[in-house]
A = this chain, B = another copy of it.
């Protein structure tokens, strides 16, 4: 049997991408933007990565109800029934559960590949190779994570501690997961890199849909109960009522890592190098996007005199820069943001301040 014949990529596309404000907005979050300058949004790129592997009918997108039209607009080839809406975010575990019950209505042998809509993957062929490998391994009931070979001691990601090898699948070695480790401090991250058996947690997973449902039943019975009630209503006249009754009361923001992966027994990982970056800030874009002759990342009409390593983003205006170093300038219709690259994580401070001052319209 072709290991991918029951493989269903499920792209999570419900995020708001607030760290890339002011470009990423509530009305047009990160995954719907072309941040890399290649005329395709991050969601479209996530979709494009899958079409060499599976037909469009097997690609699903989970998103907020309010973004369903945007998803369909960006992915016209995708059947409307494959765009799964959440009336409200209830964390990644719930989103994955919603995907799983959709797949199981279609195919009781569905293998679910949980993917992200807003990460950069420069080696999509490695991702596809890994999904094919994972589809094989998943048949044995494993919960499989995709681990990223770390290149430096990043403190902003979770890590996965790897144990023994489980075997080779489609040319890739799978390893037993010993433990999930939360975002470490710098000495710990350095120790992880030195140890050599740690990878970054990418938030991408592969498993049989029925297996993850068993895991919900064991570790998240409240979610399992809700999904069980939702499933028969999907696509029918009572769907909205069922969501009101079973989905809305779910507790806030339980991640799949916390809710299932850290508690499950049979967890495996493929440590891979797929040119991955989560584009978690403007500084990440400055790091990963191609630079011009002056060492600057420019997606704007830009005129510079003696700047280096700056990022200049604007759709409409000329950005003129003089003598800047390691600086980020983002211009939008209603906001200009300027900061050193090293302060890119503090965009959240500005967002907090906008909320406190009642200026939410700058976030919308």
Chain A contact residues, CB within 8 Å of chain B: 22, 303, 305-306, 314, 316-324, 327, 329, 331, 333-340, 342-343, 346-347, 349-350, 353-354, 357, 359, 362
Contacts and interface: CB of A to CB of B under 8 A. Distances in A.
Contacts of A350: 303, 305, 320, 322
Contact of A303 (B318, B327, B329, B354): B354
Contacts of A321: 337-339
Contacts of A319: 335-336, 338
Nearest to A357: B303
B305 A320 contact: no
What 6 A-B pairs have minimum CB-CB distances, sorted nearest first? Answer: A322-B339, A323-B343, A305-B349, A320-B337, A322-B343, A318-B335
B318 A339 contact: no
Nearest to A314: B336
B320 A338 contact: yes
A351 to B, nearest CB: 9
A335 B317 contact: yes
Contact of A338 (B334, B338, B342, B347): B338
Contacts of A316: 334
Nearest to A324: B338
A327 B338 contact: yes
Given A317-B335, A336-B331, A322 B347 contact: yes
